[in-house]
Structures are given as C-alpha cells and as structure tokens.
Structure 1
Amino acid sequence: MADITFNIAKGRVNGYAAQVGTGNAALILVPLEATGLEADSVLEDYDTLAALLAGASNEQTTMGRKTITAATVTPDDTSDSSQSDFADQTYTNATGNPIGAFLVCFDPDTTAGTDANIVPLTKHDFPATPDGTDLLVGVNGFFRAD
C-alpha cells in the first residue's frame, strides 16, 4: 500500500492504472535515493515527475526505471473498495546509491512523453542498499481506494 498518494492523483489512480497497456500508456517505477529524499508533505505537492526531480530528491539512476505495461484494478464489493496492482519487479544485479523509496508514476505515452508529462501517483518507502544481488520490489496493491 502507498505511503502517500500525490495530490494531483488523488481520486484518479485506479483510472490511470486501468489505462495501462492500452495504446502507449504505462506505469513507471522510479527509484529515489535515500540521501536528499524530501518529506512526504513536500513530495505530495509535485504534479509532474520533472518538477519532483527538480527538487531536492534524486532519482537513483544506476538501477534505472521500470516500465510496467500490465496492471489490474480489482473492485471489492465486500469492503466497498477497489485496488490497483502490478507484478513484482526485479532489479537484476542492483547497484548504486542506497534507495529510500520508489515512485509509481503514470506515463500516458511512453513513445513521446517526457518527465514533464509523467504524473507521480504513489510513493512507497523502500529502504535498501543495492549490493550487486537482485532486488525484488513488491508493492502488493500499490493503491487502494475506499
């Protein structure tokens, strides 16, 4: 479950997730370095990935981003909610600076978009120090709307 949902995405995450795999839309998993990671109260106000990365938080570029082209949105009539999810992601032989969190972002067009077009959806605290082994990132049910 997300630690924060960005203000720009509140109420829309499941809608974005439902678009993944149609056309060129995808989710983008972005690792952020632990050093310089801004507080949740600051991060949630960014409206684009470009704006976020122009702040004090740094992308951990050694590991790189993951493009996710399959996501599910599952309504739960028993709990009157719905949940968005995608498969766990593996960073093979992960190296580089320590990780503090991962962002799940929405890119409406992976063929033509820039970071200014990518919408940050959720942030997931994930402290890890890449040491050359595989790093499994599982954000089981990355978003839930009640």
Structure 2
Amino acid sequence: MASIVFTIALGRIAHYASLPAASDGLVMIPLEASGLEADSVLRDADTFAAVVAGTTTEQTTAGRKALTDVTVTVNDTDNRVDIDCADVTWTAPTGNPVGAVVICYDPDTTAGTDSDLVPLTKHDTVWTPDGNDFTLTVTDFARASSAA
C-alpha cells in the first residue's frame, strides 16, 4: 500500500486509475534512494517534473513500467475503493539503488512529458538493481475511503 498519496490526487485517484481516456495510462517510476526527499516535501508535488525538481531523482537505468490489469473495486463492506494492478517485473535491471517508486497518471501515453504526469502514490521500497530480474508485488496500490 502507498506510503503517501500526493495531495493533488486526493479524491481523484479512483478516477485516474479507471483510465477513462483513449491514450492514457498509469506508469510506475523508480526513484533513487540517494537524495530521496521526505514525504512531507514530496506530497505537494503536482507533476512528476516537480517530484524530481529537488534532490529526488529518477532511477533511469531500470526504467519506467506501464501498469497493467488495473482494477478499481468498490468495497461497500469496508466503505472504500480498492485500486490494484498486476505485479511489476524489471528484467535484468541495473543501476543505482532504488528507495521508492511513484505511480503517476499519464494523460497522453503517446506524447506526454514529465510535466504532464500526475503523481498519485509513492511506495517506499529497498532494492538494488543487480542484473537479476526483480518483481515488485503490488497489493491494492491505493485505497480511497471516507472519514465517516
């Protein structure tokens, strides 16, 4: 489950995850462990470009991954919406250690930029890409619930 939900995504994460447009999608982006800023700093970033505007940097060697099999399930019993996706596998990744991954909404997967990506959730993880396949198990990457 997410370490934080970015402020811009509060109340809209289920909509973004339902992928309502023709060429939109969700993307998982690894962040380097070194220089990773605190949640209190990152939470107010409104674009992925803003996430990496300070000391936080993308771990580009491993690469970004498009999320597949995204499901949005209304859970009336627990009064929430559960948002899930298939596990993500990097094949033979290398590069600097990863301290977190960010899931972003990409409104245009054909021509978007980092300034177009809306950061939804950040997930803390400890991973050193060493050339061996790595699978990040995802179980309900986010849940939206009411306070009442």
TM range (shorter): over 0.9
> Displaced runs of 4+ in structure 1, greater than 2 A?
none
Greater helix content: 1
What is residue 141 of structure 1 aligned with on the other side? Answer: 140
Q: Secondary structure at the match of 1:16?
A: helix
Distance in 1 between the 2:133 and 2:14 partners? 29
Please provide the CA RMSD for this pair. Answer: 1.1
What is residue 14 of structure 1 aligned with on the other side? Answer: 14
The one-letter code matched in structure 2 to 1:15 is H
What is residue 63 of structure 1 aligned with on the other side? Answer: 62
**Deviation of the 1:58 alpha carbon:** 0.7
What is residue 117 of structure 1 aligned with on the other side? Answer: 116
What is residue 128 of structure 1 aligned with on the other side? Answer: 127
Distance in 1 between the 2:127 and 2:13 partners? 26
Q: Secondary structure at the match of 1:115?
A: coil
Question: Contact 1:90/1:136 (CA < 8 Å) preserved in 2?
Answer: yes
The one-letter code matched in structure 1 to 2:94 is T
What is residue 90 of structure 1 aligned with on the other side? Answer: 89
What is residue 50 of structure 1 aligned with on the other side? Answer: 49
Work out the number of aligned pairs and report it.
145
Distance in 2 between the 1:18 and 1:48 partners? 19
Q: Secondary structure at the match of 1:114?
A: coil
Distance in 2 between the 1:36 and 1:90 partners? 24
**Deviation of the 1:70 alpha carbon:** 3.5
Question: Contact 1:60/1:97 (CA < 8 Å) preserved in 2?
Answer: yes
Q: Secondary structure at the match of 1:96?
A: coil
Distance in 2 between the 1:51 and 1:101 partners? 16
TM-score normalized with structure 1 length: 0.96
1:78 aligns to 2:77 (yes or no):
yes
Identity of aligned residues (%): 55
Distance in 1 between the 2:82 and 2:139 partners? 10
What is residue 38 of structure 1 aligned with on the other side? Answer: 37
Q: Secondary structure at the match of 1:117?
A: coil
**Deviation of the 1:55 alpha carbon:** 1.4
Distance in 1 between the 2:79 and 2:97 partners? 38
Distance in 1 between the 2:47 and 2:26 partners? 14
Gaps of 5+ in 1: none
Distance in 2 between the 1:84 and 1:55 partners? 29
Per-residue deviation, residues 5-53 of structure 1 (Å, max 9, x unmatched):
0000011111100016x41111010000000000000000100001111
